């Protein structure tokens, strides 16, 4: 019962972090898109589109978290945990489309025939204020991600930090334009568009890797060494793992003394499961026991 309550609290904490990001991004994207148009800054406007793409990503993560909480049913015997990864994949495509639009707009401004006027200094103030806000949101979400052990929220926190850096870059572009380099502001917009595209690509690759049952080989080696050290385990014949949403499912084949009773072999398997759950918070460890070959 205690573990169930703790798991519910963990998921609620992760959802709270995603909701915080959505709320802040809504305010910042509206403010930046307005400020970019009023103060004549392509970089701030591009940063506003960047935050709009972040709303999509954070919303997808939040919706995925809500769906992932649904209990398993006859059509989903393993539950609905993969919903979070599928929504992240959709968010990657949407983010990429916004990045392409921002790059296209930046190229048009950079190589247009009309020389763009330097943006108002207030545009730089908006960008720096946004950076300060996002650093605060990053700190909150990073703390929440560590406390809730949420991989999805950790990714959102990294995106928060990236957005803070993008806003600082926009402010630098505006400052350069004010100092007599008007091309620096649309160039900053190009860089921001490229960063949106890069973030979308990273989200796509990470999600695709997870959905195709990819797993970190180095981490798998750590699990293997620890299981091999469990008392009664003679050898780890096979081990593999995959992600089920934010949870790890581990499958391992161990060899034990062929003269052990079924009950003793079962005790060893239980010890392996406890070790992986307590040390690595692994949701499920499926242990297959085989007798050690007689030499």
> CA end-to-end span of the chain, whole Å?
46
Pick 120 or 233 by higher pLDDT.
Answer: 233
- Burial, 66: exposed, middle or buried (Cβ in 10 Å; 0-12, 13-18, 19+)? middle
* pLDDT in the model for residue 207: 80
* pLDDT in the model for residue 1: 35
Ramachandran angles phi, psi of 144, nearest 5° = -65, -40
Write out the E strands in 116-256: 235-244, 247-256
Measuring CA to CA, which residue among 236, 267, 241, 266 is closest to residue 253? 236
Ramachandran angles phi, psi of 82, nearest 5° = -70, -10
Spatial separation of the C-alpha atoms in residues 107 and 112, rounded to whole Å = 8
Q: What tokens does 140 get?
A: 């909150």
Least confident of 148-152, 217-221, 248-252: 148-152
* pLDDT in the model for residue 154: 73
**Residue 158 Rama label (left phi>0; alpha psi -120 to 50; beta):** alpha
Whether the pLDDT of residue 241 is over 50: the answer is yes
Pick 61 or 258 by higher pLDDT.
Answer: 258
Q: What mean pLDDT, rounded, does the chain reach?
A: 81
Measuring CA to CA, which residue among 46, 49, 28 is closest to residue 119? 46
218-240 as b/e, with b when 16 or more CB fall inside 10 Å? Answer: eeeeebeeebeebebbbebeebe
Mean pLDDT (whole number) for 62-82 = 77
Whether the pLDDT of residue 205 is over 80: the answer is yes
Whether the pLDDT of residue 284 is over 60: the answer is yes
pLDDT category of residue 171 using cuts at 50, 70 and 90: confident
Best-predicted range by mean pLDDT (33-37, 184-188, 238-242, 291-295): 238-242
Q: Going by C-beta distance under 8 Å and a sequence separation of 6 or more, which residues neighbour residue 123?
A: 35, 36, 39, 40, 41, 43, 44, 174
* pLDDT in the model for residue 2: 36
Whether the pLDDT of residue 144 is over 90: the answer is no
Spatial separation of the C-alpha atoms in residues 171 and 179, rounded to whole Å = 12
255, β-bridge pairs: 235, 290
Q: Give the three-class secondary structure for 115.
A: coil
CB contact at 8 A, 106 and 197: no
Whether the pLDDT of residue 267 is over 90: the answer is yes
Q: How far is CA 174 from CA 21, 84, 179, in A?
A: 26, 38, 9
Name the percent of the chain lying above pLDDT 90.
23
The sheet carrying 284-291 orders its strands as 235-244, 247-256, 284-291
Pick 224 or 170 by higher pLDDT.
Answer: 224
Triad 68, 281, 260: Cα angle to 5°: 120
Triad 239, 245, 61: Cα angle to 5°: 155
Least confident of 2-11, 60-69, 77-86, 169-178: 2-11
Secondary structure (DSSP) of 74-89: SS-TT-STTHHHHHHH
Note the residue count of the chain.
Answer: 295
Mean pLDDT (whole number) for 132-160 = 81
């Amino acid at each position: 019962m205690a573990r169930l309550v703790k798991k519910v609290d963990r998921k609620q904490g992760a959802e709270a972090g995603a909701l915080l990001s959505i709320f802040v991004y809504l305010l910042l994207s509206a403010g930046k898109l307005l400020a970019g148009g009023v103060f004549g800054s392509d970089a701030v406007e591009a940063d506003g589109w960047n935050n709009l793409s972040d709303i999509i990503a954070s919303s997808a993560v939040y919706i995925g978290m809500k769906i992932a909480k649904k209990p398993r049913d006859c059509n989903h015997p393993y539950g609905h945990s993969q919903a979070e990864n599928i929504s992240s994949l959709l968010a990657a495509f949407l983010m990429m489309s916004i990045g392409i639009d921002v790059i296209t707009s930046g190229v048009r401004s950079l190589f247009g025939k009309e020389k763009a006027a330097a943006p108002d200094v207030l545009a730089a103030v908006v960008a720096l204020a946004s950076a300060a806000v996002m650093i605060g949101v990053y700190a909150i979400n990073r703390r929440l991600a560590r406390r809730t052990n949420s991989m999805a929220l950790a990714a959102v926190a990294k995106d928060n930090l990236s957005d803070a850096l993008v806003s600082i870059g926009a402010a630098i572009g505006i400052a350069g334009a004010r100092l007599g380099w008007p091309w620096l502001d649309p160039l900053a917009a190009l860089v921001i568009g490229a960063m949106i595209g890069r973030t979308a690509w990273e989200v796509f690759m990470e999600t695709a890797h997870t959905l195709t049952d990819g797993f970190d080989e180095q981490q798998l080696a750590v699990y293997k060494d620890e299981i091999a050290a469990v008392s009664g385990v003679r050898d780890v014949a096979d081990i593999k793992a995959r992600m089920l949403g934010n949870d790890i499912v581990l499958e391992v084949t161990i060899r034990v003394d062929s003269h052990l009773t079924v009950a003793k072999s079962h005790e060893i398997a239980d010890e392996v499961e406890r070790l992986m759950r307590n040390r690595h918070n692994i949701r499920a460890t499926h242990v297959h026991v085989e007798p050690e070959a007689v030499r």
